[in-house]
């Protein structure tokens, strides 16, 4: 028996969808528009995508973004997972506090995160550049990994691990053959989220970027001042595509093997 | 499955190692770190410099002067060459954020047009050399605007109601109205400013938009018929819409520039000076500004420019027009008055 909702609610959701997605859709549509002056529709073209890949600065920014995202994701995934594993055994009182602290970077406004890191780097006389951007990205990505892996750990319980030790498995064997396989979907999905967050981040990167560390979002911001070109629309479209794909993948891994508990949403 | 996991980890590790080596692989070559506006140079000219002196150039962007100031002020240096606009040069000098230029390394400075040397914001060119300059004038579409345009007064013509475009910039717009009434564009006299703003309020019903970033598109697509436009932007607009004309009004106008400057503590100061000197070579200069499309400040470069460039009035303003221009000066605490009036104007009160 299906419950019918009020028709006004349907209209409301429709308007909401339009409000959220029309601006994004416009960028996508204009990225295929065969005129430099985005306004009227002048026919379909892939030209902007082609000229995008020929642009030395775009390619440099892309290389920077990927370098930062790959390194920060690997380190953040390792650190975040280890933190989740070690905090798992804390007593209830500490656990709440620690969870809050680990979650804080997700909630703190980006601008404060960026500014505080910039101040820190200056105090320590660390020259700004790719390294500082990577460190900053690790700092905020770690929290996402921690949150996802912790949720996974909480969901799996301890029975299997206890059974493994009863059967004579060493701590390492238990971890390697029982714990790790169970939480690996969480780790993978955490890593994918971390990668996406790193790729999309503007504010924090903007503060801590130095020579030759212009990432794609910083590049796009600089370009907009020159007038929004169709190449920028194309670049944004590609970024949207990659981000959505990664997040869908993360969602997929998070749900996989969950059995009865399905459709758990990502904590973002 | 587990095998795959391990393989994945190994692969990830390999990628990390690779990226790390590419990080460290920034070679022992001398590197010039430029921090500037997006697409501010001709690509080939930069490449030629890299080859000629066997150096590398890194190029990072900012989107406005305030971003630049924040970064440099925070000590976020590491850059060797920056390109602040005129008023920002003054601010940075005041805050001691710039290195004095060693003109012995920049003999080509002599090539700069006399009218662009020794600007009000940096007397004696101690810290900066002009890279790009332009003048705020009136651009109009002669398809719709049939009268002779030669005065700021013409923007107030009721025939253009709803078709007037103004820059989205406090000092530019109020400065324009001050000029119209015969004052300095950097007046610190509150009475003059108030009278200029009252005048602007009468213009408001005619204004289509305050717009800096997409004003070019609005003129090209003929949404706007007439407006305050930078000379270099006008040259860009006319390429896509040949009906556009440009004039520097008889009351005079605001001149602005982006400059070469070296931030305090730059590691490769001499290389930056070498670069500036190279850019001021007449042939290099001609090649660069043909692409960039703005006015070439290099007096000796004209013979190397194309005919189209030389004959373009929006790029090469006459001496008379240049004489009518004024830099935006530092107005000190009066800036608050400007800000207040600007908010009033934009909120339509």
Asked if B136 and B172 count as a contact pair (C-beta separation under 8 A), the reply is yes
Q: How confident is the prediction for chain A on average, in pLDDT?
A: 86
Given this model, what pLDDT does residue B140 score? 95
Pick A253 or A142 by higher pLDDT: A142
Of residues A237, A203, A239, A208, the one with CA closest to residue A221: A203
Pick A225 or B235 by higher pLDDT: B235
Given this model, what pLDDT does residue B7 score? 46
Mutate to test the interface with B, among A114, A203, A207, A212 (most CBs of B within 10 A): A212
Given this model, what pLDDT does residue B261 score? 97
Distance from C-alpha of B258 to C-alpha of B34, rounded to nearest angstrom: 14
Locate the chain A residue with the closest alpha carbon to B62: A222
Size of interface A-B (CB pairs under 8 A): 97
Over residues B87-92, the mean pLDDT reads 92
Ordered domains of chain A (ranges, CATH)? 53-259 (1.10.3720.10)
Unique residue bearing structure tokens 């430099």: A36
User: Which residues in chain A (153-182) have CB-CB distances under 8 A to chain B?
Assistant: 181
Given this model, what pLDDT does residue A265 score? 52
Given this model, what pLDDT does residue B165 score? 95
Asked if B186 and B331 count as a contact pair (C-beta separation under 8 A), the reply is yes
Pick A28 or B27 by higher pLDDT: A28
Over residues B218-234, the mean pLDDT reads 92
Over residues A220-227, the mean pLDDT reads 78
Q: Is the pLDDT of residue A257 over 50?
A: yes
Compute CA A25 distance to the chain's CA centroid, rounded to the nearest angstrom.
Answer: 21
Q: Is the pLDDT of residue A263 over 70?
A: no
What tens digit of pLDDT does each residue of B227-239 get? 999 998 899 899 8
> What φ, ψ does residue B298 adopt, rounded to 5°?
-85, 115
Locate the chain A residue with the closest alpha carbon to B233: A226
Structure ipTM: 0.71
Q: Hey, are the CB atoms on B213 and A228 less than 8 Å from each other?
A: yes
Locate the chain A residue with the closest alpha carbon to B70: A207
What share of chain A has pLDDT > 70, as a percent? Answer: 92
Task: Give the minimum alpha-carbon distance from A185 to chain B in angstroms, rounded to a whole number.
Answer: 11
Over residues B61-88, the mean pLDDT reads 86
**pLDDT band (50, 70, 90) for residue B24:** very low
Q: Is the pLDDT of residue B1 over 80?
A: no
Residues in chain B closer than 8 A to A225 (CB atoms): 37-38, 63-64, 213
Q: Pick from B16, B63, B75: which is nearest to A222 by CB?
A: B63
* Chain B residues in contact with chain A using a Cβ-Cβ cutoff of 8 Å: 1-2, 5, 12-13, 15-16, 19-20, 22-23, 26, 31, 33, 35, 37-39, 43, 58-64, 67, 74-79, 213-214, 216-217, 220-221, 240
Pick A154 or B27 by higher pLDDT: A154
Distance from C-alpha of B212 to C-alpha of B129, rounded to nearest angstrom: 25
Burial tier of A19 (Cβ tally within 10 Å: 0-12, 13-18, 19+): exposed
Mutate to test the interface with A, among B5, B56, B75, B167 (most CBs of A within 10 A): B75
Question: Between helices B269-279 and B282-292, what is the axis angle to 10°?
Answer: 80
Of residues B17, B39, B48, the one with CA closest to residue A214: B39
What tens digit of pLDDT does each residue of A103-144 get? 888 888 999 999 899 889 988 888 888 999 999 999 999 999
Span of A100-104, A148-152, A262-266, B330-334 with lowest mean pLDDT = A262-266
Region for residue A130 given its phi and psi (left: phi exceeds 0; alpha: psi -120 to 50; beta: otherwise) = alpha
Q: Which residues are CB-neighbours of B295 under 8 A, at least 6 positions away?
A: B132, B133, B134, B231, B232, B289, B315, B316, B317
Q: Hey, are the CB atoms on A210 and B76 less than 8 Å from each other?
A: yes
Distance from C-alpha of A154 to C-alpha of B148, rounded to nearest angstrom: 78
Task: Give the minimum alpha-carbon distance from A93 to chain B in angstroms, rounded to a whole number.
Answer: 35
Residues in chain A closer than 8 A to B22 (CB atoms): 67
Task: Give the minimum alpha-carbon distance from A97 to chain B in angstroms, rounded to a whole number.
Answer: 32
Q: Is the pLDDT of residue A267 over 70?
A: no
Q: Which residues are CB-neighbours of A84 under 8 A, at least 6 positions away?
A: A145, A146, A149, A150, A153
Q: Hey, are the CB atoms on A224 and B63 less than 8 Å from each other?
A: yes
Q: Hey, are the CB atoms on A122 and B76 less than 8 Å from each other?
A: yes
Structural tokens at position B23? 């990080």
Distance from C-alpha of B80 to C-alpha of B90, rounded to nearest angstrom: 18
Residues in chain B closer than 8 A to A184 (CB atoms): 5
Q: Pick from A70, A118, A228: which is nearest to B16 by CB?
A: A70
What tens digit of pLDDT does each residue of A172-184 get? 999 999 899 989 9
User: Which residues in chain A (25-54) have CB-CB distances under 8 A to chain B?
Assistant: 36-40
Q: Is the pLDDT of residue B16 over 50?
A: no
Asked if B200 and B344 count as a contact pair (C-beta separation under 8 A), the reply is no
Over residues B312-335, the mean pLDDT reads 89
Residues in chain A closer than 8 A to B2 (CB atoms): 181
Over residues A7-21, the mean pLDDT reads 89
Range B1-22 burial, b when 16+ CB lie within 10 A, else e: eeeeeeeeeeebeebbeebeee
Of residues A195, A206, A227, A218, the one with CA closest to residue A58: A218
SS3 sequence, B65-127?
HHHHHHHHHCCCCCCCEECCEHHHHHHHHHCCCECCCCHHHCHHHHHECHHHCCCCCCHHHCC
Give the containing element (helix H, strand E) for A201.
none
Q: Is the pLDDT of residue A168 over 50?
A: yes
Asked if A197 and A247 count as a contact pair (C-beta separation under 8 A), the reply is no
């Amino acid at each position: 028996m299906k419950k019918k909702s009020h028709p006004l609610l349907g209209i409301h959701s429709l308007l909401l969808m339009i409000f959220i997605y029309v601006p994004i859709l416009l960028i996508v549509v204009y990225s295929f528009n065969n005129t430099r002056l985005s306004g009227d529709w002048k026919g379909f073209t892939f030209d902007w995508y082609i000229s995008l890949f020929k642009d030395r600065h775009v390619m440099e920014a892309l290389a920077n973004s990927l370098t930062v995202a790959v390194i920060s994701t690997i380190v953040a995934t390792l650190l975040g997972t280890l933190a989740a594993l070690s905090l798992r055994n804390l007593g209830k009182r500490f656990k709440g506090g620690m969870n809050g602290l680990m979650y804080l970077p997700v909630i703190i406004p980006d601008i404060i995160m960026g500014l505080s890191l910039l101040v820190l780097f200056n105090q320590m006389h660390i020259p700004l550049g790719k390294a500082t951007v990577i460190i900053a990205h690790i700092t905020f990505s770690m929290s996402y990994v921690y949150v996802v892996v912790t949720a996974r750990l909480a969901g799996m319980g301890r029975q299997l691990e206890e059974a493994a030790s009863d059967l004579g498995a060493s701590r390492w064997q238990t971890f390697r053959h029982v714990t790790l396989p169970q939480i690996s979907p969480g780790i993978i999905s955490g890593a994918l989220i971390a990668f996406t967050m790193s790729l999309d981040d503007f504010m924090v990167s903007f503060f801590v970027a130095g020579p030759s560390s212009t990432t794609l979002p910083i590049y796009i911001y600089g370009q907009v001042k020159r007038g929004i070109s169709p190449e920028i629309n194309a670049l944004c479209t590609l970024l949207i595509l990659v981000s959505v794909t990664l997040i869908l993948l993360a969602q997929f891994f998070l749900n996989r093997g969950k059995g009865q508990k399905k459709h758990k949403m990502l904590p973002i | 499955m587990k095998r795959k996991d391990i393989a994945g980890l190994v692969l990830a590790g390999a990628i990390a190692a690779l990226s790390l080596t590419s990080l460290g692989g920034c070679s022992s070559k001398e590197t010039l770190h430029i921090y500037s506006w997006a697409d501010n140079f001709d690509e080939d000219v930069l490449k030629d410099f890299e080859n000629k002196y066997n150096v590398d150039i890194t190029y990072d962007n900012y989107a406005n002067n305030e971003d630049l100031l924040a970064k440099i002020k925070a000590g976020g240096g590491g850059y060797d060459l920056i390109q602040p606009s005129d008023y920002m040069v003054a601010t940075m000098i005041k805050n001691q954020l710039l290195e004095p230029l060693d003109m012995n390394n920049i003999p080509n400075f002599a090539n700069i047009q006399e009218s662009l040397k020794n600007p009000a914001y940096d007397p004696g060119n101690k810290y900066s050399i002009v890279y790009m300059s332009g003048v705020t004038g009136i651009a109009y579409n002669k398809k719709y605007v049939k009268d002779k345009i030669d005065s700021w007064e013409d923007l107030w013509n009721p025939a253009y109601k709803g078709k007037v475009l103004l820059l989205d910039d406090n000092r530019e717009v109020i400065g324009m109205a001050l000029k119209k009434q015969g004052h300095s564009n950097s007046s610190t006299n509150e009475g003059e400013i108030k009278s200029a703003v009252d005048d602007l309020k009468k213009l408001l019903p005619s204004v289509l938009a305050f717009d800096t970033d997409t004003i070019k598109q609005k003129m090209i697509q003929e949404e706007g018929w007439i407006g305050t436009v930078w000379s270099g932007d006008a040259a860009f607009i006319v390429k896509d819409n040949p009906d556009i004309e440009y004039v520097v009004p008889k009351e005079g106008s605001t001149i602005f520039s982006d400059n070469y400057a070296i931030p305090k503590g730059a590691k490769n100061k001499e290389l930056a000076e070498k670069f500036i000197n190279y850019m001021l070579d007449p042939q290099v200069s001609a090649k660069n500004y043909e692409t960039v499309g703005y006015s070439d400040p290099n007096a000796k470069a004209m013979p190397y420019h194309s005919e189209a460039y030389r004959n373009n009035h929006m790029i090469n303003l006459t001496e008379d027009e240049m004489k009518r221009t004024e830099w935006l000066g530092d107005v000190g605490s009066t800036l608050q008055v400007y800000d207040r009036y600007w908010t009033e104007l934009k909120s339509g009160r």
